Structure 1
Amino acid sequence: MPYSLLDLAIIREHYDANDAYERSLQVARHAEKLGYTRMWLAEHHNMANVGSSSPQILIGYLASGTSTLRIGSGGIMLPNHSPLIIAEQFGTLATLYPNRIDLGLGRAPGTDQTTATALRRGRQESVQEFPSDLDDLQRYFSEKNLDSKVRAFPAEGLDVPIYLLGSSMSSAVLASQKGLPYAFASHFAPGYLINASQYYRENFQPSEQQATPYFISCVNVIAADTDEEAHFLATSFYQSALGIIRGKSYPMKKPVKSMDGIWSDPEAAAIQNMMACTFIGTKETLKPQFESFFKQVEVDELMVSTNIYDTEKRLKSLEITAEVLG
């Protein structure tokens, strides 16, 4: 099974964004050596400790520092942008790094509504307009747009694969209708994972880009040489996840011996529910966890999110994950 990586360039406590970007490049180079298929960067705004506010720029940075790893967006939040601009940007990236650029698209703002309003400068973009924006974007990449009054250079005619991202049934419906690969955000919103994957496969309509369904599930993985160490390292991930529960942006903090006193019982329960698709342990303990997961949902590719404070420990976790999935 192909295995890939999701990155948000999360900023560590007492460090800055430059450190986050350098670590992302280090991780990308390591993932390339380990046989990972792709590395995606997510778009987030107004979050002080998430460095991926401009994934287009980071994609170019990571692509320039690697040679075979596919680099892409997981995703670009299309309602925040003009389809023409996205076509031009990703056309430029695909020209610079041929056959290595992915364009994953989401319909959420990737931020709060006040910031979304600032991003869109008063343009009222609704969920209902996402399909038409997607049509516009696909047209700009198509050679059939040759005679249009508005053309996207150098995107026109380039083969930049588009992926739809989501965590709901509506995303599954659109992905199946459009005949596009579908990536599900099960790493933080697993509720509709099984239903969405089944619907997508059963209702998939072949397209020029994709002849058969292609389903990616993103999960959290923390791996180490011992189970005790893996669970210890996971406390950094839990502390960051608290920010989602509390509506705050926390930096990546050092692991702690216990989460007692850091989160409340309701917060712990909420995070455990939200992060249900999380796999923690050694190579030996991860194997049965993955096997159980794959029995529940049919997956064509697994994308992992590995948030560990220490970079060397993170690289080790990616090695173990590759050994399990390879």
Structure 2
Amino acid sequence: MAKHSRTFQNIPLSVLDLAPVNEGSTPRESFKNSVDLAKHVEKLGFHRYWLAEHHNMPGIASSATSVIIGHIAENTNHIRVGAGGIMLPNHATLVIAEQFGTLESLYPGRIDLGLGRAPGSDQATAYALRRTLNMRVEDFPMQVNELQDYFSDHPVSNVKSVPGQGLDIPIWLLGSSDFSARLAAQKGLSFSFASHFAPAYTIPALNLYREQFQPSEVMENPYAMVGVNVIAADTDEKAHYLATSLQQQFLNMRRGQPTKLKPPIKDIEAHFSAMELEAIKQSLDPRTTIIGSKETVRKGLENFLTETQADEMIISAQIYNQEDRERSFEIISELMD
């Protein structure tokens, strides 16, 4: 893939918020923090603000994703707000069409609908959501087709999405493998890759998406966004200290013991085995988990953009203290100027 001149100063930078619930806190406080962060990054010039669907996770409050999207949109002015993403197999397609038709009707021209096919939970939780586990991976393309039909001006189905029908709601496909990359290419849709937790598959998925892309009614050319974890602070030392909250969260999930977001610690090596610490290096790859001061972050973002040739980057920052989280995005915005 040819490398063209592109810097992160002239591509959109966006925010992925997992609505973290801090240790000793509640989802109510998490939602307040999300509103404050959304207002903050809107002023700083970030392009979109996405929230992710997860269930049965004590440290993630955005399970009712469409509800919190509406709350964020109501408390901001122009930033795009959306789902990164809605796990479509968990839902009746009509319900999602109606929910996002409602959001687009309330906040016209500001709503994005990113779709994933993973459950965003364990099997027991998936069963509780769906009442059945009969939905197969192979059904996901059919669900996307149904959703597009509900938003169409002239739907084929006799069942209509009200609101929803005839509304222009951008649909993105999200993925951490080649499945959604291939489907996004076939359908001519925007594609967002979860490189922030699946770094090894990033380049193969992006190459496949671009090589197989077929123009559609909504897009003539491929448009790829990549996810990046960024923990920025005024010094490298402080940033690495703050990043231990993300590292603890990752390792506790790997142990099958998800927790609320824990405060940073100074001696993470004392809390986890050598094998677990190696897992951090592999899954929280320095290419896609960029930790450090302004210059360290600048170099990391530039290097990853050169490698991926992405059209947009979406940044996640699992930082325990709200002031530190807002400061991290301030530092990134200084690089945008």
Same fold (TM over 0.5): yes
Q: TM-score range by the shorter chain?
A: over 0.9
Deviation per residue, 1:166-222 (Å, 9 max, x gap)? 010111100100100000011111121001111111111111111111100001000
Structure 1 counterpart SS, 2:268: coil
**Mapped contact 1:197–1:298 kept (Cα < 8 A):** no
Q: Does the residue aligned with 1:139 lie in a helix, a strand or coil?
A: helix
**Correspondence list, 1:88-103, <5 A:** 88-103=98-113
Report whether the alignment pairs 1:268 with 2:277: yes
Aligned-residue offset at 1:251: 1.2
In structure 2, C-alpha distance between the alignment counterparts of 1:169 and 1:192, rounded to whole Å? 8
Q: Deviations over 1:271-290 (max 9, x none)?
A: 22111110011111222222
2:203 corresponds in structure 1 to 194
* Preserved contact between residue 237 and residue 307 of structure 1 (Cα < 8 Å): yes
Structure 1: which 5+ runs fail to align? none
Deviation at 1:295, TM superposition (A): 2.1
Paired position in structure 2 for 1:106: 116
Pick from 130, 151, 155: which aligns with 1:141?
Answer: 151
Q: Cα distance, 1:123 vs. partner?
A: 5.4
Q: Does 1:116 align with 2:132?
A: no
CA distance in 1, matches of 2:117, 2:34: 25
Unaligned runs of 5+ in 2: 1-10
- Aligned partners of 2:162, 2:188: CA distance in 1, in Å? 25
The residue number in structure 1 matching 2:20 is 10
Between the two proteins, what is the percent identity of the paired residues?
A: 51
In structure 2, the residue matched to 1:20 is 30
- Structure 2 residue matching 1:74: 3-state secondary structure: strand
Check the 8 A contact 2:203/2:308 in 1, yes or no: yes
* Alignment of structure 1 residues 40-189 onto 2, 5 Å: 40-122=50-132, 124-145=134-155, 148-189=157-198
Structure 1 stretches of 4+ with a deviation exceeding 6 A read none
Q: How many residues align?
A: 325
Which residue identity is paired with 1:161? Answer: P
Superposition RMSD in Å: 1.1
Match of 1:208 among 217, 225, 242: 217
Structure 2 residue identity aligned to 1:278: T
Indicate conservation of the 8 Å contact 1:232/1:257, yes or no. yes
The structural deviation recorded for 1:111 is 0.3
* Aligned-partner residue type, residue 118 of structure 1: A
Work out the CA distance in 2 between the residues paired with 1:291 and 1:148: 46
Counterpart amino acid of residue 25 in structure 2: Y
> Which is further off, 316-325 or 221-230?
316-325
Residue 301 (structure 1) aligned to one of 275, 299, 312: 312
SS of alignment partner, residue 40 of structure 1: strand
- In 2: Cα distance, 1:254 partner to 1:170 partner: 36
| Structure 1 position 317 matched with structure 2 position 319 | no
Look up the SS of the partner of 2:210 in the other structure.
helix
State the TM-score, normalizing by the size of structure 1: 0.97
C-alpha deviation, 1:49, in angstroms: 2.0
**8 Å CA contact retained: 2:149, 2:157:** no
On the 8 A contact 1:184/1:193 being kept in 2, the answer is yes
Aligned partners of 2:241 and 2:296: how far apart in 1? Answer: 15
Aligned counterpart for 1:259 among listed residues 268, 276, 289? 268
2-structure distance, mates of 1:6, 1:290:
16
The letter of the residue matching 1:136 is E
Q: TM-score, normalised by structure 2?
A: 0.94
**What is the CA deviation profile of residues 46-88 of structure 1, one whole-angstrom value per residue up to 9, with x for unaligned ones?**
1122111111100001000001111100000000111111000
Partners of 1:94 and 1:81 in 2: CA distance: 19
Whole-Å separation in 2 of the counterparts to 1:249 and 1:54: 19
Q: Secondary structure at the match of 1:228?
A: helix
Mapped partners of 2:199, 2:180: distance in 1: 14
SS at match of 2:320: coil
Residue 278 (str. 1) matches residue 289 (str. 2): yes
Shift of 1:4: 0.3
Partner of 2:3: none
| Counterpart amino acid of residue 303 in structure 1 | I
